[in-house]
Structure 1
Amino acid sequence: MGNPNILLTRIDNRLIHGQVGVTWVNHLGANLVVVANDKVASDEVQQNLMDMVLPDVIQTRYFTLQKTIDIIHKASPRQKIFLVVKDVQDALTLKEGGVPIDHLNVGNMHYEEGKKQISSTVSVDENDIEAFKKLDELGVELDVRGVPNEKGKNLLELL
């Protein structure tokens, strides 16, 4: 089993949308977007809506977290993977399950009751902060950035 060619892992609670589907995919040169999320893995309507955003030449896969952990190492070297997760807990589950995530782009985590806003697009609660600290301890670089041409900020410095 080889190391999968994961170009970037991004947290975005919207998963695939215009910004991810066009800007990030083009910037990275990805040819496969893998959405790792237990709920979306079984929601064909949501999958079809997300597929409509992407150019036809970009493939998508919608896997549960466990299936992602089980098969990511079987990816072909030709697959240039952009891995998208909904939240930091999903990212931590993947990392602890052996998915080689070295760099995590934190793009969008909506504000909701009980969360504090740390950037214009990222809000966190205590559980999120704890998960980010664990990822940091596991050697994952945490970068807050909406679009590729923005200067990234170290998430830990924003907490």
Structure 2
Amino acid sequence: MDAKPNVKMIRIDERLIHGQGQLWIKSLGVNLVICANDKAAADSMQQSLMKAVVPKDIGLRFWNIERTAKIIWKALPNQSIFVVVSSPKDVLTLAEQGFPVGEVNVGNIHAKEGKEKVSQFIYLGEEDKEALRTLRDKFGCTFNTKTSPVSNDGEQSLEKLESILG
């Protein structure tokens, strides 16, 4: 069995990598960012925009969900990794394919019809809730809802998230 990869954080953010991501990269002290998203993995324009906000000395990979789950076990011991996905369902798919998932940062899920407000930045639909429940109940995941590493706005949101998930 390969050694467990050094995944510092998995963040759910519909915007994937953007300006705020720089704060997470610096705060976590990572040297590799994986954007695990089927669409972004195939969209060079989107990749170019995301590359612009990641420091040049940080590795950046755009892989689909399946490849991320497989290749993570090839990570070197000196790689500290920040994984960004766009939805709770993506994290669940990673977990179901053997990706090591511990704590998940539920960062930014936009408002849409049929979604329940958790915080200013987090709205969950039934599919989101079901994925998070499964992550918690089957895979033992824990969650945090910090919008950025420098904010302390996560506690109330986390309480609301936990009450919504039941």
Superposition TM-score, scaled by structure 1 size: 0.95
Which residue identity does 2:97 align to in structure 1? G
Count of residue correspondences: 158
Aligned residue in 1 for 2:35? 35
Superposition TM-score, scaled by structure 2 size: 0.91
Percent identity at matched positions?
A: 43
Counterpart-to-counterpart distance in 2, 1:147 and 1:52: 19
- Shift in Å, 1:70: 1.1
1:92 equivalenced with 2:98 (yes/no): no
Aligned residue in 1 for 2:162? 156
Counterpart-to-counterpart distance in 2, 1:59 and 1:16: 13
- Shift in Å, 1:55: 1.1
Counterpart-to-counterpart distance in 1, 2:50 and 2:151: 24
1:68 equivalenced with 2:73 (yes/no): no
**How do 1:118-129 residues align onto structure 2 when only pairs under 5 Å count?**
118-129=118-129
* Residue aligned with 1:120, SS: coil
In structure 1, list runs of 5 or more residues that go unmatched. Answer: none
* Residue aligned with 1:76, SS: coil
Residues 158 and 119 (structure 1), Cα distance of their counterparts in 2 relative to 1, 3 Å cut = farther
Counterpart-to-counterpart distance in 2, 1:134 and 1:49: 33
Aligned residue in 2 for 1:8? 9
Runs of 4+, deviation exceeding 3 Å = none
- Between Structure 1 and Structure 2, the one with more helix by share is 2
In structure 2, list runs of 5 or more residues that go unmatched. Answer: none
Structure 1 vs Structure 2 CA RMSD: 1.1
Counterpart-to-counterpart distance in 1, 2:163 and 2:11: 18
1:105 equivalenced with 2:105 (yes/no): yes
- Shift in Å, 1:158: 4.9
Give a deviation string over 1:97-130, Cα, whole Å, max 9, x none: 1111100001100001111111110001111111
